[in-house]
Structure 1
């Protein structure tokens, strides 16, 4: 493995995050299937991953990839000089890209993710009012270096609070962004959770305090995210950042469904900001360079399977590229050209 992620790794990250999304989503059939064993049975009936061609109309990406791409394209313009001083411009720029997608994809942007909601968010940004629009902000490969941690966390907090004002939500954006940076840096996986708690979360808290927006409410609800992550790191034996990782004696699809529910806030695994990156990390720790095992753990379970797959596959692509991934899983992926182009732009801006 190369010491740092290359251009090809960046492209793999964007492509495979989309592929993992489409596979975990399966046009709503698997995202809302509450049984991991049932999903695995259907996967076998389809001939396994090697036999699946991820392409329209049967395998569209979900809103997770659409907004990941919108975030990536917004960050890839190269017009943001200083995150700490240019955050209003960043906010408007990202809303602009979300608005473009919302008007061009009526199927994905239905209900809460409607054109009206995006415009409302745009019009009320000066009041620091945040509305509900589902987005996983992890495509932040633009700030991957250790000395860029402040900018990485600042962007993750701002884009996260734009749509998820509760700390359990926007700290999930921080976790996902941080994990992509760690993947670029080739930091040992066993250190990622500790880095989140000891390095990124304290910066995020100071950043929120300095913004003077909803500080009291944020501090009141801050502890759940950190406490749950401390619990997870202890469960896996990596609270010291070293390991070895502790696994249950039996950890198949049924056992993972139950474990992931215990990670969650309300029983729907991967639905919240704390447990989506937690499940992704769990899968990365166990699967190593095995794509099929990664998808089995991160993408085919009885929870919000597309969301957890997107995060895990993005990091996996940064670590391993497309090696061992069946071409059919990504070669005809929806938005492939734009995903690759944004990856190239982000790579250029990060170097």
Structure 2
């Protein structure tokens, strides 16, 4: 499958993972993966799911907003203008949230943004801003800036996209992880290396936060939680070295997964925070390999915030494998499929034009 096809699959399948994990709110708020998988089996299994009957959640609506902002900003984006476009898109997309269960932090913080005035993007540090709302919409940043030479740009754009609503390290570092792992997927980097790569990028992210100068003390005081959780997870899977193959328990069914996922979480609701939404998605990807069904069972159908883990896991998987092995009924009639595919195609074209320039606007929206 061509790289262009993989870009389109990455965006389209992200919407599929979201819609399947969401099930119009029924499965997102279900506490049992066993119950979900039993209901799925009663439908005839994943291969029998006609996506025409399902809608995407707030995750995809906001991911669309991010992707369309990246495209509108053009080949050599002025970063300050890019953040203004993102903010405007996030505000506009709030009108498309009926029955999509948007997070309260996203709603409250996005409503406070004012991209048309100086300082209107500079939201203060939020002690409650560690949710997954920044991560779930950031994967496409990795499609836009996939080159290793663009790492600095990816770090800055993903962090600032996250701080538009989630000004807390656990929140915006989730956005960085979602974008970074998408870039790794595009470049064919073996997944067992990704976690090590993240740990090597985090000091650069911290340097950027210090350089940006906004609420530095509060950010540094709450920084270590995210890094420690990821360090612990990578040790658990035996891939802290970035070279070994991941190790999973012999018994790792839906009950065991629900228990393990909850231990990763902040307060027991698996996948609802910036650290554990990409972490559970990563766990599913590592276990699944090229199996779409295994990815879905592990990443979309579990007790917890299953649409947020689903949207991330499916995006990464699509960037690696394209549509290979995915039943057409799972994606052909997906809500917003054409928009998602168009974003994938246009981000592919933009990403092929070399390293994007800073455009003279500076790297931080904190200059607004």
2: CA distance, partners of 1:255 / 1:59: 28
Aligned to 1:222: 223
Aligned to 1:60: 55
* Pair 1:247 & 2:248 matched: yes
Aligned to 1:350: 351
Once the two structures are TM-superposed, the CA of residue 75 in structure 1 deviates from its matched residue by 0.4
Aligned to 1:129: 123
Aligned to 1:39: 36
Q: Quick check: 2:57–2:102 contact (8 Å CA) kept in 1?
A: no
Q: Secondary structure at the match of 1:27?
A: helix
Aligned pair count? 342
Q: Please, which runs of 5 or more residues in structure 2 have no aligned partner?
A: 353-368
Once the two structures are TM-superposed, the CA of residue 67 in structure 1 deviates from its matched residue by 0.4
2: CA distance, partners of 1:343 / 1:195: 24
Aligned to 1:338: 339
Give deviations 1:24-64, integer Å, cap 9, x for gaps. 00000000000000101000001101111112xx4100000
TM-score (norm 1): 0.92
Once the two structures are TM-superposed, the CA of residue 115 in structure 1 deviates from its matched residue by 7.4
Q: Please, which runs of 5 or more residues in structure 1 have no aligned partner?
A: none
Aligned to 1:302: 303
Once the two structures are TM-superposed, the CA of residue 119 in structure 1 deviates from its matched residue by 4.1
Aligned to 1:211: 212
* Pair 1:91 & 2:83 matched: yes
Once the two structures are TM-superposed, the CA of residue 110 in structure 1 deviates from its matched residue by 6.3
Q: How does 1:130-149 map to 2 (within 5 A)?
A: 134-135=133-134, 136=136, 137-140=138-141, 141-149=143-151
TM-score (norm 2): 0.88
2: CA distance, partners of 1:292 / 1:111: 28
Once the two structures are TM-superposed, the CA of residue 113 in structure 1 deviates from its matched residue by 7.2
Q: 2:14 aligns with which of 12, 17, 21?
A: 17
Once the two structures are TM-superposed, the CA of residue 103 in structure 1 deviates from its matched residue by 2.7
Give deviations 1:197-228, integer Å, cap 9, x for gaps. 11x21121111111100110111111111111
Cα 1:65–1:125 shift into 2, 3 Å: farther
Q: Quick check: 2:20–2:54 contact (8 Å CA) kept in 1?
A: yes
Cα 1:345–1:7 shift into 2, 3 Å: same
Once the two structures are TM-superposed, the CA of residue 117 in structure 1 deviates from its matched residue by 5.5
1: CA distance, partners of 2:273 / 2:139: 14
Aligned to 2:104: 112
Q: Secondary structure at the match of 2:139?
A: coil
Aligned to 1:177: 179
1: CA distance, partners of 2:84 / 2:71: 14
Q: Quick check: 2:105–2:166 contact (8 Å CA) kept in 1?
A: no
Q: Quick check: 2:74–2:350 contact (8 Å CA) kept in 1?
A: no
Q: Secondary structure at the match of 1:16?
A: helix
Q: Secondary structure at the match of 1:308?
A: helix
Q: Quick check: 2:25–2:101 contact (8 Å CA) kept in 1?
A: no
Aligned to 2:358: none
Once the two structures are TM-superposed, the CA of residue 78 in structure 1 deviates from its matched residue by 4.0
Q: Secondary structure at the match of 1:154?
A: helix
Give deviations 1:77-100, integer Å, cap 9, x for gaps. 243635xxx333122101222233
Q: Quick check: 2:106–2:166 contact (8 Å CA) kept in 1?
A: no
RMSD, matched Cα: 2.0
Q: Quick check: 1:20–1:309 contact (8 Å CA) kept in 2?
A: yes
2: CA distance, partners of 1:61 / 1:71: 16
Cα 1:104–1:261 shift into 2, 3 Å: closer
Q: Quick check: 1:156–1:173 contact (8 Å CA) kept in 2?
A: yes
Q: Secondary structure at the match of 2:85?
A: helix
1: CA distance, partners of 2:222 / 2:97: 35
2: CA distance, partners of 1:266 / 1:78: 38
Q: Quick check: 1:102–1:114 contact (8 Å CA) kept in 2?
A: no
